[in-house]
Structure 1
């Protein structure tokens, strides 16, 4: 019972972090007015938070393995709370940005060690259910964020969006102090400072290059080239470092590298839907913002039910085969998005989003459990931090690829560069959207191939006799019809 209570503490904290992220996007106009700056500058409040988290995930995973993951989680919660107070108390943008940096440090400390904490607390046969329940809180955070943010802004100042974290986070911190297992004795710290510096530079350059892909393509290409050079330098440094942030040999292991890369493709593809879905519903279909929000709530609502069921399936049957089924559902939903024509709406969009939510739950829960089962206890911190890092990188890359492919195609069709979908004909918008979703489908096909490679490598555990994957079912059905 105690381990499940500890899992609830993790879940409530991540609910708070997810809500905090979505609330900030809603508060940009109010913050710009309150701080007397432009909305473009307030956008730094979001970007500096993401960059801080991405740059510190791997170092904090290494710190948790040596200093104690429970200690890191509690310290990260405290840093997040102090950062929340500073952000809300800021009277100038620089003060607010400083608070967001501290929030990012706290969020990174907790995220880097959360996967490993779950794997430490639960036996392998319960990992699927544990990750499934933790995902419920993440889905609830995505569901509650916009509505809660609108409610707060209706009755209070934007500062209370950040101060709302204080009572929730305070309870999490108190419960963690009382109930978390005592962290193991501290080891002598051997941190990879050189790798950390290179990773921080890489995070900044990569974010700047992707953020400028539409407005300054030359700068974006230069930034991507520099990012490639920094990535090469990081790999070379890690090969020679006596205490690397991540063992590169772990990435070459088929049972870790393939499923991790497959997960990365789903992170990237998911943000095509996040960016383009609201544009389709409001500009093409003509729904109001309120109706659009209601339609977009269907996915998180379904995920609340699908996540624990997916966790039970991942514990009962072969996780790579469960992952393959989830990827097939994601591919079906991506093809459905390619085929949307604006007719039979919003039912067609709802059906696609429900299939996508189920596929994400099935794949993501099984993937998290499988990755944590395939590494040693000493490698859990690095593996969990890397998974969290790829999720953040997938967010940035997915938004960049989706916006570049959509607005780039729209500009080609219009005969001039465009950065807005407003005022464009529906047919042109649909064509640009179909091309963007086709790219997302190709990315997911890469994930499906990687997982298929894992299944054929002989390293994946055998599936339960009563649970064949969907591809095998379709293949058997096709052969029986031919016979």
Structure 2
């Protein structure tokens, strides 16, 4: 064989230099997520987007991202992670430009779908390359830096995004990806090794189709449930039937995967023989469930209820990300020494407690710094999750399975985000519609008698398809033709009604992601600390650095 000589003769870049390029691409993906969250109220206002359309702007990206991750991991095994990484960067960068030029919610949603495809091609290559180029004893430190990048992106996203939205406009949260993407493509072409495994892989197109259809039906049902009053959505077909059909298709997907377990299914059943990897898939999904589920209502609360600008909202949540950025590398080093079990347990516990404090301290008449104690506690917890989670999950995975394993754990994370965002969004819509009705009845007494019934009726018929949650809005538009003096009085009462109702709806809705995070923390108690010889996999040649 010539492979060993080929590897010895070719110049090899430092693994840490390669890691920096991988982190740059990963940084752009995470930056986009956090920037989009902070821009939700501004996009809602300037694009005249309702709450359910805003949910699609978020979930269209995450849904496509999640569905394609496992397939992208397989493609990386087949064609090499370098090619897929660069292709993903190019698609993501071009789609970001398309997002910035969108002029209505529909155009933005389509561009976000393409963004999701680019992000899916890129992400699994990062983890698989890290697993291949770093020895086991150094992976914790590498994943620690990878986790620190997550902290930098989360602190840069709200702060940079807040500045761009406030001073330039929401379009620039997408245009900022263009210079980052161009630099990342050039560096990846120069620095990344062209690693390939001497084995041919096959793609499970039926499995991909079943997973895609099932996830779309479930997500569609959750997002569109409240706008359609959880009734008919297309002819005689109801929302409940759409969700049930999605669940049935997903069950069929799992049976199909199990039936093809000895071939090469999307779900790599062999790696689930490692208990830690199995647990970390659930924990990863639960973390994403909690993160997207928590931040969607919180961002709207900070801007649309407390009246903060996008920049002020970003600075309010920045301490959590800033603390996480400094804690993550330390957590990675300690994970190398201790195995990471108790670090991850403590991190998830602190994050759950911190966000619980945020929910408890949030009131419609609170100041921006009332929630700071909870933000600080959550920051320490967040910084102690990413590095130990990846270390525990990938420690016993054989290099031959790295692409599939990293693709699936990223899929679990994104599926958690899809379900979390959709479920909390659906719960928020239901709670907000209910809270608006009850609060409107209470506050109607402060209006002149001739306007009370119309005021209550306006809020009573609000649903996710018509709810306006942009900065400066009051949930539902005021009817035309009102005298100016009456419009001012009714507008003030309507704004107060929206603030009170949204705060109550947010506090009720966030119980769900907090419960999921608490369950994830408890799962960490079952992590095995015993050494393993590695996940079983067919004997294969070593990965080689192939000629480009």
State the TM bucket, normalised to the shorter chain. Answer: 0.7 to 0.9
Task: Report the TM-score when normalising by structure 1.
Answer: 0.82
1:116 aligns with 128
Structure 1 counterpart of 2:117: 105
Equivalent residue number for residue 398 of structure 1? 420
User: What corresponds to 2:450 in structure 1?
Assistant: none
Q: Report 1:20-39 matches (<5 A).
A: 20-24=32-36, 26=39, 39=49
Cα contact 1:275–1:399 (8 A) shared by 2: yes
What secondary structure sits across from 1:424 in the alignment?
helix
8 A Cα contact 2:41 2:304, kept in partner: no
Partner Cα distance (2:166, 2:507) in 1: 37
Deviation of 1:382 after TM superposition, in Å, equals: 1.8
Structure that is richer in helix per residue? 1
Residue in structure 2 matching 1:2, options 2, 11, 14: 14
Q: Which residue of 1 aligns with 2:321?
A: 300
**Counterpart-to-counterpart distance in 2, 1:188 and 1:82:** 31
The equivalent position to 1:224 in structure 2, one of 218, 243, 246, is 243
Is 1:448 aligned to 2:521, yes or no?
Answer: yes
DSSP 3-state at the match of 2:496? coil
Given that 1:67 and 1:187 are in contact with CA atoms closer than 8 Å, whether structure 2 keeps it comes out as no
Gaps of 5+ in 2: 1-12, 232-237, 439-459, 468-474, 476-494, 532-548
Residue in structure 2 matching 1:460, options 506, 518, 529: 529
Q: How many angstroms does 1:191 deviate by? A: 1.0
In 2, Cα distance between the equivalents of 1:336 and 1:447?
Answer: 18
With the length of structure 2 as denominator, give the TM-score of the two structures: 0.73
Which residue is 2:471 aligned to? none
Residues 355 and 417 of structure 1, relative CA distance in 2, 3 Å threshold: farther
Mapping for residues 290-329 of structure 1, pairs under 5 Å: 290-329=311-350
* Alpha-carbon spacing, 1:52–1:275, altered in 2? closer, same or farther (3 Å): closer
The aligned counterpart of 1:384 is 406
Give the Cα separation in 2 of the matches to 1:117 and 1:398.
29
- Please report how far the alpha carbon of residue 135 of structure 1 lies from its aligned counterpart in structure 2 after TM superposition: 2.4
Per-residue deviation at 1:118? 1.4
Q: CA 1:330–1:220 in structure 2 vs 1: closer, same or farther (change >3 Å)? A: farther
Equivalent position to 1:234, from 253, 263, 275:
253
Which residue does 1:18 correspond to in 2? 30
Farther-moved stretch of structure 1 (441-450 vs 307-316):
441-450
Structure 2 counterparts to residues 250-265 of structure 1, below 5 A: 250-251=271-272, 253-265=274-286
1:467 aligned partner: none
* Contact kept in structure 2, 1:192 and 1:244, CA below 8 Å: yes
In structure 2, C-alpha distance between the alignment counterparts of 1:340 and 1:251, rounded to whole Å: 41
Deviations 1:330-349 (A, max 9, x none): 23224424532649855551
The residue number in structure 2 matching 1:178 is: 190
Can you list the C-alpha shifts for 1:134-170, whole angstroms capped at 9, x where unaligned?
2232332233334444655677787665454333222
Find the aligned partners of 1:277 and 1:31 in 2 and give their Cα distance: 15
Query: Residues 161, 266 of structure 1: CA spacing in aligned structure 2 closer, same or farther, 3 A cutoff?
Result: closer
CA RMSD in angstroms comes to: 3.5
Quickly say closer, same or farther: Cα 1:81–1:239, change in 2 above 3 A: same
Match of 1:51 in 2: 63
Q: 1:304 to 1:95 in 2, by over 3 A?
A: same
Structure-to-structure mapping, 1:76-475, within 5 angstroms: 76-85=88-97, 100-149=112-161, 152=164, 162-184=174-196, 187-216=199-228, 217-218=230-231, 219-241=238-260, 242-251=263-272, 253-281=274-302, 290-340=311-361, 342=363, 346-412=368-434, 414-415=437-438, 423-424=496-497, 432-454=505-527, 459-461=528-530
Deviation for aligned residue 1:356 = 1.2
Shifted more, 258-267 versus 235-244: the winner is 258-267
